[in-house]
Amino acid sequence: MNRSLSMTPAGLGIKYDGETISFSLVRTKTKRLTISVYPDLAVKVKAPKGKSLNQINARVERRAAWIARQLQHFRQAPPAAPKRRYVSGETHVFLGRQYRLKLHPADRNSVKLIGRYLHVCTRNPSFTHRVRDLVEDWYRDHAKRLLHRRVQQCHEHVKRFGIPSPTIRLKKMQKRWGSCTRTASITLNSELIKAPSQCIDYVIVHELCHLRVHGHNDRFFRLLTACMPDWEHRKRRLDSIVLT
């Protein structure tokens, strides 16, 4: 693979395997340089104020292969699902399985998963904003219970590798499945409750491994493979599904 540094008309960039990869740069007060690739194919670099442009370019150059893989992944990602309408017959996903929404008029609000249907009872089922709130609350409650339990179980499996016990936070995120800090804190996307269990465990173990190794380098992937030998299969499955 051929690679070189360059300036692009839009700003900073590198050349890798015949392709110009442009990136934006944000200066921060932190000591850590981070590179992020987003679904809209934007590449953003956050770097400490003390880092020279040559140092930043050198880091981006070292990560060129990874950046190219992420860009290719997002180019091949499945199209976004249509916007939810929250009407009877609409498909919703829970733990990787599809369920049909059934709306019922009732004096008391409730959401129950029975068979292949997600039953929503509310005083006026035609008020779709109310149905939406009830369904989202149901997902949020299940995410809180299940994801915390999965983190405990996954940590029990990988703690022998010297991975500390994390604190957990759930948050609905648009661009990331999870993140972690150097203080053993992990944030998980609450939308993970819609993914298959094996994909949920992959995201959790991935973030747990970052508590030992913070970058996506060879050392990190060796640890991830030791903790979860089939992580690549799980990642491919996660990448192939559309969550809404």
> Of the candidates 196, 198, 202, which has an alpha carbon nearest to the alpha carbon of residue 224?
202
Residue with tokens 């890798």: 16
Mean pLDDT of the chain: 89
Residue 4 pLDDT > 50: no
Phi and psi for 196 in degrees, rounded to 5? Answer: -60, 150
Domains present along the chain, CATH in parentheses: 3-75 (no CATH), 91-240 (3.30.2010.10)
**Span 47-60, pLDDT tens digits:** 998 899 899 999 99
What is the mean predicted confidence (pLDDT) over 95-106? 96
Q: Is the pTM of this model over 0.85?
A: no
1: pLDDT confidence band, cut at 50, 70 and 90? very low
Whether the per-residue pLDDT at 122 is higher than 70: the answer is yes
What's the first-to-final CA gap in the chain, in angstroms? 37
Across 20-34, average pLDDT: 88
Lowest mean pLDDT among 47-51, 143-147, 153-157: 47-51
The larger pLDDT score, comparing residue 130 to residue 4, is at: 130
